[in-house]
Structure formats: structure tokens, C-alpha cells
């Protein structure tokens, strides 16, 4: 696996099929990283989404996906997964005529289906981002099909690194594990924040203070873990003095089998992702 976080400028043109939350994050990230707005084309049936894109980022909005595709060397499929089939089938002739690199962020939609629906033979990179992309702190995994060149894959990584870090996974099926880990992952941390806030309030701390204590601790611990060469286990042990407060808390977690439950929960998420991809 190769990890990258490039900030270099971009060449070429990028089209977005769909101008929703993820597309807005990507376009915002690209523009802030130096990609020229006039090289970005977007189509979304919602006029509000188009106005936002044009007003906020100065990108070029089109009157249809075909127009977006004909202007773009890279096309990002950014619609809900359940719309991917109909949107690609409708855009199939434009995609076949112009043959851009297709980057799909549609969760759970397999490359073989993207290939089939778009008419076959396209270079496709399937990616799995997560919601912190909205604040340019996303974690995105990528997997290309065999038609993607080294340069195209690097280009796809540069686009996704506009909203955070990227990692390549060797097998498409790894994206099911990624979905359960970093895709769903923000929700696991929100859940822990919820539990910490509840405990704080049970101990008599007011709601706002509880929120600040829990969220800032989560941010600080995340940054510490991300910036450290030590494992999370070592960092945890450093906070845990023998006979102290943290040890008492961990004893209670161990008695309740919390770590095993988390591992089982994440693997259950992977199983669900596999089932959803198949259907």
C-alpha cells in the first residue's frame, strides 16, 4: 500500500456527475489546492446545487452530464449508489465517445458493474472516501481496474488528496473492509464522544463543557496518534498508571469485553458491505 498527500497543482479537466455533499467537498478542496475552477465542470439536476458550485467556487456548470463528460478528461461519479446504474447507462454513449478516466465514489458499487453500465472498456478507479473529507481531513482508499495507467492512478490520488489522505488497496474486495473501517469509522468515534458526554453529564458536568471535554480529547488523541511513531497500544499504556484512574476504567471495559465487541462490530460492517456490493 502506498500513502500520499500531494498538494501539487493539477492539469487537465475534471467533470462531476452530481453536485452534492461529496462533490462540493472535492471541488472546494481542488480549488483551494490550486486547481483552476474553469477546468472543473459540474452537472446536478438541483438548481440550488449548481448555483452553489458556481457562486462559491466559480466552476463551470453544464446543462447535462453529457456536456460535463465531453469537456472532461476525468469524470467523477458522485451520485447516490442506487442512481449509479441509471446515470451511467444514460451517459454511456458520451462516456464511450470521450473515454475519460472514471472515478467512482459511489459506496459499494463494484467496478464490474460500473464497467458494464458505462458500456465497457473504460479506465475506472473505485474509491471510498469518508465524511471528514467535508473539512479536508478525509481518508480515502482507491482501487483501479487494469485499464488505469500509472499516470491516471497518480492523478486520481492527487484529486482525492485535495480532501485528505489517500491509500491504494491491492484488491477491490479490500474496499469492503475499508468501508467498515474508515468509511463508517467517523460514526464509531462519534459514538465514543456520545458515551463520554453522557458519562460527563452523569458526573454532574454541564452539557457544553461535557461536549468540549469529549470532542477536544478526541481531536487531541487522534492528532497524537497520527503524528506519533508509537502504536496506539503504547500511547494508551503511557496514559495508564498502575492502580490509577485509567486502569480502573480499562478494567471495566475489559470485564465488559468492549474491545472484542468493537472488532466483531467492524467485521459485521464488512460483511454487510460485501452483501450490499453483491446486490
Ligand X SMILES: NC(=O)c1ccc[n+]([C@@H]2O[C@H](COP(=O)([O-])OP(=O)(O)OC[C@H]3O[C@@H](n4cnc5c(N)ncnc54)[C@H](OP(=O)(O)O)[C@@H]3O)[C@@H](O)[C@H]2O)c1
Secondary structure of residue 258 in the 3-state scheme: helix
Interacting span for ligand X (CB under 6 A) from 74-82, 141-149, 219-227, 234-242: 74-82
What's the closest the beta carbon of residue 228 comes to ligand X, in angstroms? 27
Q: Which of 19, 100, 185, 269 lies at the binding interface for ligand X (CB under 6 A)?
A: 19
Shortest spacing between CB 49 and ligand X, in angstroms: 5
By CB under 6 A, the residues from 186 to 205 that bind ligand X are none
Instruction: Pick the piece of the chain touching ligand X (CB under 6 A) from 12-20, 31-39, 221-229, 247-255.
Output: 12-20
Q: Which of 75, 86, 87, 89 lies closest to 26, judged by CA?
A: 75
Q: Return the range that interacts with ligand X (CB under 6 A); candidates 11-19, 112-120, 159-167, 263-271.
A: 11-19
Helices (H), the chain: 21-32, 47-52, 65-70, 84-98, 111-117, 150-160, 174-178, 185-202, 207-227, 232-239, 245-255, 258-278
Residues 47-66 that bind ligand X (CB under 6 A): 49, 65
182 binds ligand X (CB under 6 A): no
Nearest residue (CB) to ligand X, 177 versus 200: 177
Residue range at the interface with ligand X (CB under 6 A); choices 15-23, 189-197, 206-214, 258-266 = 15-23
Q: Is 164 in the site for ligand X (CB under 6 A)?
A: no
Using CA of residue 181, residue 102, residue 163, residue 28, what is the dihedral sign?
Answer: negative
**Least Cβ distance, residue 214 to ligand X (angstroms):** 22
Q: How far apart are CA 197 and CA 176, in angstroms?
A: 31
* 83 lies in the binding site for ligand X (CB under 6 A): yes
Distance of closest approach, residue 221 Cβ to ligand X, in angstroms: 22
Site string for ligand X, 115-154 (x = CB under 6 A): -------------xxxx-----------------------
- Contact between 95 and 102 (Cβ < 8 Å): yes
* CA atoms of 238 and 187, how far apart (whole Å): 26
**C-alpha neighbours within 13 Å on the C-beta side of residue 92:** 14
Q: Which residues pair with 217 in a beta bridge?
A: none
Edge to edge, the sheet with strand 3-4 lists: 3-4, 164-168, 138-144, 124-128, 101-104, 74-77, 14-17, 40-43, 60-61
- Phi, psi of 187, rounded to the nearest 5 degrees: -65, -35
Q: Which of 75, 107, 163, 178 binds ligand X (CB under 6 A)?
A: 107
CB atoms within 10 A of CB 101: 25
The residue whose Cβ lies closest to ligand X is 20
Min dist. Cβ of residue 258 to ligand X (A): 26
Q: Where does this chain bind ligand X (CB under 6 A)? A: 17-23, 43-46, 49, 65, 78-81, 83, 87, 105-107, 128-131, 183
Amino acid at each position: 500500500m502506498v500513502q500520499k498527500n500531494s498538494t501539487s497543482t493539477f492539469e487537465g479537466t475534471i467533470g462531476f456527475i452530481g453536485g452534492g455533499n461529496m462533490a462540493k467537498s472535492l471541488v472546494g478542496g481542488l480549488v483551494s489546492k490550486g486547481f483552476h475552477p474553469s477546468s472543473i465542470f459540474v452537472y446536478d439536476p438541483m438548481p440550488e446545487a449548481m448555483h452553489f458550485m458556481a457562486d462559491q467556487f466559480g466552476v463551470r456548470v453544464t446543462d447535462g452530464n453529457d456536456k460535463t463528460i465531453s469537456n472532461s478528461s476525468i469524470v467523477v461519479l458522485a451520485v447516490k449508489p442506487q442512481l449509479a446504474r441509471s446515470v451511467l447507462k444514460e451517459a454511456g454513449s458520451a462516456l464511450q465517445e470521450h473515454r475519460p478516466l472514471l472515478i467512482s465514489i459511489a459506496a459499494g458499487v463494484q467496478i464490474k458493474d460500473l464497467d458494464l453500465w458505462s458500456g465497457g472498456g473504460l479506465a475506472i478507479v473505485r474509491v471510498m472516501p469518508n465524511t471528514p473529507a467535508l473539512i479536508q481531513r478525509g481518508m480515502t482508499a482507491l482501487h483501479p481496474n487494469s485499464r488505469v495507467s500509472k499516470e491516471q492512478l497518480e492523478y486520481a490520488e492527487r484529486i482525492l488528496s485535495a480532501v485528505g489522505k489517500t491509500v491504494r488497496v491491492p484488491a477491490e474486495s479490500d474496499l469492503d473492509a475499508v468501508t467498515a473501517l474508515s468509511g463508517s469509522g467517523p460514526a464509531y468515534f462519534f459514538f465514543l464522544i456520545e458515551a463520554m458526554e453522557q458519562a460527563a453529564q452523569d458526573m454532574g458536568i454541564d452539557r457544553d463543557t461535557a461536549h468540549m471535554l469529549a470532542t477536544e480529547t478526541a481531536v487531541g488523541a487522534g492528532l497524537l496518534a497520527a503524528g506519533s511513531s508509537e502504536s496506539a497500544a503504547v500511547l494508551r499504556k503511557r496514559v495508564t498508571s498502575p492502580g490509577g484512574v485509567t486502569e480502573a476504567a480499562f478494567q471495566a471495559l475489559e470485564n465488559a469485553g468492549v474491545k472484542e465487541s468493537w472488532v466483531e462490530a467492524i467485521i459485521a460492517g464488512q460483511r454487510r458491505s460485501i452483501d450490499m456490493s453483491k446486490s
